[in-house]
Chains A and B, each alone.
Chain A
Amino acid sequence: MAVAGNNMKKFLFSILFIFTIGFLFSFSAQEVQAISASTSVSVSSDDAWEDADNALGGGYGTMNTTDSYTRTKLYMNVEPDEEFQAGFRWVISIPKGSTITQAYAQFYIYDASYDNIMDEIKWYFHDGTGSPPSFSSVAGNISSRSKTSNYMVWQQTNIPIGWATTPSLVLPLQEIVTAYDVSALVLFNESTTNAGSYELRVRTRDYGSNYAARLYVTYTLPPPPVVIPTVTTDIADIASVDLSNNKATLKGTVTATGGANPSQRVLEWGTSTGSYTQSYDTGAGATGTFAYTITLTPGTIYYYRAKAYNSTGWGYGAEKRVVIYLAPGGQKVIPAAAATTTLTLNKNIAPGGTVISSTGSISCGTACLTQTSTPIASGTSVVLTPTAASGYTFSSWTGCTSVTGNNCNVTMNVNKTVTATFAAAIATTTLTLNKNIAAAGTVISSTGSISCGTACLTQTSTPIASGTSVVLTPTAASGYTFSSWTGCTSVTGNNCNVTMNVNKTVTATFNRPPDQPIPQGVSWTHCWDEELELSIPMVNWTYSDPDGDPQSAYEIKIYGLSTLDATITCPTSPCLSYAPTQGWVGNNLNWGVTYNWQVRVKDDKNNWSLWSNNGSFTMPSHAHPWVDFSWSPSPPIINNEVQFTDRSKAYGGATTSGWNWSFDFGNPPSSSLRNPTTTFSVIETGGNGVSLQACDNTLPAQGGPYCCPGSKTITVSSSLPEWIEVPPF
């Protein structure tokens, strides 16, 4: 990678990440929890993208999902003052207001020859709100989406083959998270300052090699929002000692600060309902009771309530009344308790869900941590119904009169407080196992969540906590072998290792044995160039494999004898015939005997077929004739008569009884005599051919007559000058 200003040829690599994955987070109002998330580029066509043309706004293209070449590199040529983009897609779910503590991307460099120069790689995050941006659907509109003003510059030379890690992406990512609930991220590059040819070849997707580009983010969830304090107005105390002084102590309680301690805790009162003409601020404080004693005019009803103020606003308690009656005769008395009650609902986590009451007096949303009902007539039955928010589950109630399902039943005879507890849902994933053949074997998982027997073709696990490593172990059934896995994070031996960060699907492929071979006809070799009393059968069969695997070997049995041979390796596939050796036949097979035979075949996955059904063959009653003949004169002279003499032999007590001669350019050209004559009229280049088929007198009932052919090439001489005999010298 060249730095700005040098003379090296510069390469600009532009990468755009969009990535989709669901992360569920848990937090409480009281604690800040760091969450680490990592994920890899998926496999859809929208997960990697490049600016297929030149300038921004030119031709955009999603990555070709079927072409491994384009899936594994991103590059382009850059002209001055033009923008180019390319990259990958991830989608990640990060709540608004989270604090990013770590963020970087990694991608796998597979061809260092193109990665020796890079310059000014700027990564921008798309805001990613709403649906994950799609390269295919928004092809030309990526540039119109909002981008962060912060960016990351990556300058690095001579990037070696292997994983390359970007500089920190915290700054631009934080800019987004500060403003948005992020459900998707688009990470891409723009460069307008450095012209030249920039290229970086990286793995984009993981198609079996675990080299897909990764994004790592660590963040903490935002603190819960500050809400108004929750205040209850308590029943005033009129102690007997105060009765004579006409004094009453008004009381209130801050049951929840709302995330910020109240700066004022006030009791206010008046003599008309809803009209509070006097008040007293007891000062700042946290949760707890505050009080103020006032002087009453006997016989006058005073209406009062408690309230507290924090940075968000005022929280009010319900209005209550206090009065000192003057009985007839002027005796002062305190009235009986009011016939109304209040129900206070607390939630352990405000955004964990909502709670509503059957009376309508409670409606506590995801911003509400506690709420006190309006006055409820004593004796009223109230049902509180919780609804968990996304990412949470309802856990339990406390303070209820009874619980029905998730509902809390409260009988309001006194003021009551109930608490609904929600829990952050644990991020879970599922693992789906597919097998190519149900009966081919079993697969079990290390977590016990997968146990797929021989009747199971596919199985989805029970929920597995995200981040769990699962090992799947296949066991082939009899007659099958395990072949391969797809979809695994890695494979060790026959085991599939899967890291469950998202829902995943893996497929176990078992191999089937070849089909049972079918015996075909038997081919014979009866006749020989030399004098041999031998007939050799060649057995034939079929080969087919349901998986298309080639044949690697076969095994033959010829019954009535010892097993013929062990495994015979096929020189080429398929090998569909076998002829035993002359020696084996001579030592083991007898004339006139019928033998059964079987074959089994093996594919290149080491699976044997079943033995074939029986084939059979019957040896001839004796050997076929051996054919031979001679002629005179030798060599014959053209246009002169030649005498041929049969020298053939028959075996097994038979005699030769039929002859069929053929002479090339002979006159006659053929003969059925045993010892015929002919005259050659033409000399053939390389000799004149003479053939003889001789048959013995074996009866047809024995398959006779047995016949064999024989042939010779005879050199015929041309006419020559006459010589004379002279005295020897």
Chain B
Amino acid sequence: MPKSYLTILIIAILIGIGLIFYFLGPFGKPKIGSNEAALIINYGETKRAFIGEVIEGMTISDALLVSAKAGNFDFDAEEGILKRIGQFEQNEKKWNAYLNGTKIGDSLNKIFIKAKDKIELKFE
């Protein structure tokens, strides 16, 4: 194989690997499908993100529940008010919920979500 071909092949492979990392790896930005929503848990110094399908009548509490199942963490909420996620139990800091950047003051059980919504739970 001529050297020039080998060089081109190596470059192509590197480009392909880069593209794979860009779209699928930790450096890629996940895409939210047209019928999906996202939930981001912001622990302060770290974050976790979840996406999935939105069905009719689905609430923020439901989104947290399916995210917990996907992320293998547990949480406590009373009357739709979030008290704890994993080891992060509110004490001096509290768990606040934002929907598309707007703070939610109501019970999470009562807030319905729709496709393309972005939910963020901040421990702050």
Residues of A within 8 A of B (CB): 630, 632-635, 637, 715, 717-718, 720-729
Contact = CB atoms under 8 A, between A and B. Distances in A.
A722 B52 CA distance: 7
A634 B75 contact: yes
Interface stretch (B6-14, B23-31, B94-102): B23-31
Nearest to A715: B109
Nearest to A724: B70
B119 to A, nearest CB: 11
Nearest to A723: B52
Interface in B93-124: 109
Given A630-B76, A720-B55, A725 B70 contact: yes
Nearest to B84: A634
A721 B66 contact: yes
A723 B109 CA distance: 18
Contacts of B63: 723
B65 A722 contact: no
A728 B67 CA distance: 13
A722 B66 contact: yes
A723 B66 contact: yes
B50 A724 contact: yes
B69 A726 contact: no
Nearest to B49: A728
19 contacts: A633-B65, A633-B75, A634-B75, A634-B77, A635-B65, A635-B77, A635-B109, A715-B80, A715-B109, A720-B55, A720-B58, A720-B62, A721-B54, A725-B48, A725-B70, A726-B50, A728-B46, A729-B30, A729-B49
B49 to A, nearest CB: 4
B62 A717 contact: yes
Nearest to A713: B79
B55 A725 contact: no
A723 B28 contact: no
Contacts of B80: 715
A727 B58 contact: no
B68 A633 contact: yes
Contacts of A729: 29-30, 38, 40, 49
Nearest to B78: A634
A720 B113 CA distance: 13
A548 B80 CA distance: 56
A57 B12 CA distance: 135
Contacts of B38: 726, 729
A635 B58 CA distance: 14
A718 B56 CA distance: 12
B76 A634 contact: yes
A490 B50 CA distance: 94
A725 B49 contact: yes
Contacts of A720: 55, 58, 62, 65-66
A722 B69 contact: yes
Contacts of A728: 40, 46-49
Contact of B52 (A630, A632, A724): A724
A711 to B, nearest CB: 14
Given A720-B58, A722-B66, A727 B76 contact: no
B25 to A, nearest CB: 8
Nearest to B53: A721
B71 interface: yes
Nearest to B80: A715
Given A633-B65, A637-B65, A717-B65, A726 B78 contact: no
B120 to A, nearest CB: 10
B90 to A, nearest CB: 14
Contacts of B40: 728-729
Contacts of B78: 634
Contacts of A717: 61-62, 65
Nearest to A633: B74
B77 to A, nearest CB: 5
B96 to A, nearest CB: 17
A635 B26 CA distance: 32
Given A630-B76, A723-B50, A726-B50, 13 more contacts: A633-B68, A634-B75, A634-B76, A717-B62, A718-B62, A720-B62, A723-B66, A723-B69, A724-B51, A725-B70, A727-B30, A728-B47, A729-B29
Contact of B26 (A632, A715, A722, A727): A727
A430 B118 CA distance: 103
B78 to A, nearest CB: 7
A725 B26 CA distance: 12
Contacts of B76: 630, 632, 634
Nearest to A637: B65
Contacts of A632: 74, 76
A633 B69 CA distance: 10
A630 B77 CA distance: 10
